Amino acid sequence: VSRPRRADLVLVGFGHVGRRFASLLGESRPALLAQYGLDCRIVGIATRRMGARFDTRGVEIAHDGPAAAHPAAGSAALQVITQLARSSDADLKIVVETTVLDIAAGQPAIDHVRAGFAAGCHVITANKGPVAFAYSSLNREAESAGVRFLFEGAVMDGVPIFNLVRDTLPLIEISGFRGVVNSTTNHMLTAMEAGETFGAALGRMQAEGIAEADASLDIDGWDAAAKTAALANVLLEAGISPPAVHRIGITESDAARARQARANGQRLKLVASAARDRSGKVSASAKPMALPATDLLAGLEGKANALILQTDLLGEIAICQLEGSLTQTAYALLSDLVTIAKQPARRGAPAR
Amino acid sequence: VSRPRRADLVLVGFGHVGRRFASLLGESRPALLAQYGLDCRIVGIATRRMGARFDTRGVEIAHDGPAAAHPAAGSAALQVITQLARSSDADLKIVVETTVLDIAAGQPAIDHVRAGFAAGCHVITANKGPVAFAYSSLNREAESAGVRFLFEGAVMDGVPIFNLVRDTLPLIEISGFRGVVNSTTNHMLTAMEAGETFGAALGRMQAEGIAEADASLDIDGWDAAAKTAALANVLLEAGISPPAVHRIGITESDAARARQARANGQRLKLVASAARDRSGKVSASAKPMALPATDLLAGLEGKANALILQTDLLGEIAICQLEGSLTQTAYALLSDLVTIAKQPARRGAPAR
C-alpha cells in the first residue's frame, strides 16, 4: 500500500453550503483515506465578511466561522488561493468555491475559478454561474493548467448529472434534454394547482425556508435558465449563457393555468429544456408548460427534480432527485473531490 | 499519442443480442479508436448450434451467423475461450457472454464466465444469471485472475445502474432499492387495468414480440426475482440467489386488482425491492403492489423501467429507462467494453 496522498483545500465562501461541506468532509475522513488513499485538510478559508485565514497545518473550523478571522485587505479569496499555491506542498491543491452567486453575471464565482486555475489549483464549485456563463473558456483554461474543473452541484445538487454523462455513458450522443430543476417554482405550482394563490404559496415557501427572502430569481425563471445554460453548455456544447435561454417565469396568472391543466388531466411545470437541431444550433428554454399526466416530469411533487436526456443509443433516460437538502449540495462537492482523487489529470474521455 | 491498444473479443452466444452487439461494435470502431485508443476485433464466435469459429485475424460476421460454422466437439464456448487465451497477443482479451439463460440455475452463463476468468480473460455479459446466482464468488475469482467482470446489461439494459453506483456515487451507502424492472408484466398490468383480460393481454404482448413465446418466467416473477437478486448482491452485498427472493407473479386475478387499484387512485405494479435491516440482513421481494399515484414507479407505462435507490447522503434517487430495445442491451456490453478500456485493473473504489 502506497502512502496516502495529501489534499489541501481552501474554502472560498463559508456559508451554509461551505460549512456543511466542511463537516461532511470531517465525517468522511476515514472513508476517503481507506477507499481512495486521500488525506484531506482544510488549510484556508476566505469569506467576504471575515476575510482570509490560512494555515498549512490546517485551520480550525469553529461552528459559526473561522476560529479567528483576520480581516484582509484586497480579496480574501485571491489571498488564500495564492497562499495555497505557494505554501502548500500537498499532492493535490483544491479550491472549493461556494460564494453567494450574482446570477446575472456568474460572479464572483467565475473570477475565483479562474484565479484557482491561474494558481495551478483544481477547482470544484457548487455554483452554476461559471458553467452557465463561461464553460468553454474555463474548460480550456483548466486543460491548459493541467487541473480539473468540476461542478456536479450546479444542477440537482449531488445527484450525478455531469458525472453520469462523463463516466457512465461512453460513446453516447446527447441531442437534447428536458427537466424540472427549480424546486421553489415546482412547490409553488403544486400549491397553486391545489387552490392556493401565488402570494400565499410564495409566502408559505419563504416561511418554510424553501424559497429565499428574495425569491425573484426563482420566480422569474433565472435560476432555471442558468441551470439550462449550464446543462446545454456541458451536454450539448452549446456555448450559450443564461440570457440566450428563452425564459418565462411564473406569475399570478399561472394559478388559474395550473388549475385548468389539472382539470384537463395535465400538470403545469416549469420545464428547462434544450435541443440541438439538424444544423447543430442549440435552442434552450425555461418556461411553464402543461404536460400530460403520463409524462415523467408531470409526477414530480415539491422538492423532486428530474432530468430526461435524449440519447442516440439509449433513447430517453432520466435521473431523479426525490429529496433535496444542504447535505446533498455538500455531497456534490465531496463527489467532485473524489473525482479529482481518482483522476487528477483528465484523460480518455472526450471533452464534453 | 501512444499506439492504439488492441482488444480481441470472442462472442459466446450469437443470438439477437450478440449480433446487435457485433454490428454496434462495427459502427463504434472510429469512436472507440479516437476516444479510447482502442482497436477492437472479434476473433471468435461460439454458438450451441453452429459450434466454434476462431481466427486471430478476425472472423467474418455474416448477417445470420458465423460465415462458415465449424461444428465442434465438446463445448464450443470453452474452445474459443481457450483459443483466445493461447493464440491472441492482444493487450486486452475479452469474453462477451450472451447465451440463452436457464434462469433457474444461471447456466450455462456461469460456466462461461468462470472459464473466461480461468483463462485470464476479462468477461462482460448481458446475462443476469451469473450476478444473481454467484456474484460474490465470481467477483473473487475475477480479482484473483486480475481481470474485470462486468454486467451492466443484467438489469435495465444499457441504462447505467452498476456503473452509476460504482463510478458516480462515491462514499454513498445504499440501504435498499425498489423498482419496476420487468417490461412484460408492466405492459400486461397496464393493459389489464384498462380492462383487458390476462389472456388477451398476454397474447397481444406475444404477438407484438414484447413477451417471449414462453412468458412464464416473466409472469411467474422469476425474471424480476433474478434481477432483484442481482441488484441486492451488487448494491447490498446480500449474497443471495433468486430462490431467496420472496416472489409473487401475476395471475388472472390481478386484472381485477389492477382495475380496483386504478379506481382507488393507485396503480398495481410488479415491484422488485430489497432492504438491509439493522442487523445487516437483506430481505428481498418481487411482487405486485398497489402504489399511490404520486409514487414515481406508479407512472411507468409499458416498456418504461425505473430503479429507486435509498441512500444515506442523497436520500432517494432514481434512474429511469423510458424505452427499451435490442440496441440498448447491446449498448450495455459496449459500455462494459469501454470500462475495461479505461480501467483494465480494478482499483480505487471498494468492492461493492
**By three-state DSSP, how is residue B283 classified?**
strand
pLDDT in tens, A92-116: 999 999 998 888 889 999 999 999 9
The verdict on a CB contact (< 8 Å) between B335 and A168 is: yes
One-letter amino acid identity for A341? A
The verdict on a CB contact (< 8 Å) between A318 and B322 is: yes
User: CB-based contact (8 Å) between B80 and chain A?
Assistant: no
Nearest chain B Cα to A348, which residue?
B36
- pTM (2 decimals)? 0.94
One-letter amino acid identity for B335? S
Would you give the end-to-end CA distance of chain A in angstroms? 34
Nearest CB to A168 within list B167, B317, B341: B167
DSSP β-ladder status, B65-66 and B92-97: unpaired
Q: List alpha helices for chain B, DSSP H.
A: 16-36, 76-87, 109-118, 129-145, 162-168, 183-193, 198-207, 216-219, 222-235, 253-263, 326-342
Mean pLDDT of A149-161: 97
Measure the CA–CA gap between B260 and B266, rounded to whole angstroms: 8
Query: Sheet harboring A149-150: ordered strands across?
Result: A51-54, A38-47, A5-12, A92-97, A122-125, A149-150
User: CB-based contact (8 Å) between A33 and chain B?
Assistant: no
How much is the pLDDT for B63?
Answer: 57
| Local confidence band at A131 (pLDDT 50, 70, 90 cut-offs) | very high
| b/e code B162-185 from CB counts within 10 Å (16+ = b) | bbbbbbbbbbbebebbbbbbbbbb
How much is the pLDDT for A332?
Answer: 98
Nearest CB to B299 within list A164, A296, A338: A296
How much is the pLDDT for B73?
Answer: 36
Measure the CA–CA gap between B85 and B23, rounded to whole angstroms: 24
Measure the CA–CA gap between B122 and A169, rounded to whole angstroms: 20
- Contact B268/B241 with Cβ under 8 angstroms? no
To test the contact with chain A by mutation, choose from B168, B169, B331 the residue with the greatest count of A C-beta atoms within 10 A, namely B168
pLDDT in tens, A209-237: 888 778 899 999 999 999 999 999 999 99
DSSP β-ladder status, B246-247 and B282-292: parallel
- Contact A204/A191 with Cβ under 8 angstroms? yes
Question: Is residue B199 exposed (0-12), middle (13-18) or buried (19+ Cβ within 10 Å)?
Answer: exposed
pLDDT in tens, A341-352: 998 887 544 444
One-letter amino acid identity for A275? A
How many A-B residue pairs are in contact by the CB < 8 A criterion? 148
The verdict on a CB contact (< 8 Å) between B299 and A301 is: no
User: For residue A271, is pLDDT > 80?
Assistant: yes
Residue with cell 461556494: A98
- Contact B183/B305 with Cβ under 8 angstroms? yes
Nearest CB to A335 within list B28, B170, B348: B170
Contact residues for A238 (Cβ-Cβ < 8 A; gap 6+): A229, A232, A274, A276, A282, A284
How much is the pLDDT for A352?
Answer: 43
User: What's the grid cell of residue B47?
Assistant: 454458438
Nearest chain A Cα to B299, which residue?
A294
Q: Between residues 253 and 312 of chain A, which touch chain B (CB distance below 8 Å)?
A: 293-294, 296, 298-299, 301, 304, 306, 308
At residue A180, φ and ψ (nearest 5 deg) are: -110, 110
Residue with cell 454490428: B23
Contact residues for A268 (Cβ-Cβ < 8 A; gap 6+): A189, A193, A254, A257, A258, A261, A262, A288, A289, A290, A291
Contact residues for A128 (Cβ-Cβ < 8 A; gap 6+): A101, A103, A151, A154, A155, A226, A227, A230
Would you give the end-to-end CA distance of chain B in angstroms? 34
Q: Helix and strand tally (H, E) in chain B? A: 11, 14
User: For residue A71, is pLDDT > 70?
Assistant: no
User: CB-based contact (8 Å) between A159 and chain B?
Assistant: yes
The verdict on a CB contact (< 8 Å) between B168 and A163 is: yes
Task: pLDDT tens for chain B, 352 residues: list them.
Answer: 578 999 999 999 999 999 999 999 999 999 999 999 999 999 999 998 888 999 999 998 765 555 444 444 348 999 999 999 999 999 999 999 999 888 888 999 999 999 999 999 999 999 999 999 999 999 999 999 999 999 999 999 999 999 999 999 999 999 999 999 999 999 999 999 999 999 999 999 889 888 877 889 999 999 999 999 999 999 999 999 999 999 999 999 999 999 999 999 999 999 999 999 989 999 999 999 999 999 999 999 888 999 999 999 999 999 999 988 899 999 999 999 999 999 888 754 444 4
Nearest chain B Cα to A171, which residue?
B31
Residue A89, number of CB atoms within 10 A of its CB: 8
Closest C-alpha to A306, from B207, B76, B308? B308
Measure the CA–CA gap between B92 and B36, rounded to whole angstroms: 13
User: What's the grid cell of residue A19?
Assistant: 460549512
- Contact A177/A307 with Cβ under 8 angstroms? yes
User: What's the grid cell of residue B261?
Assistant: 387499484
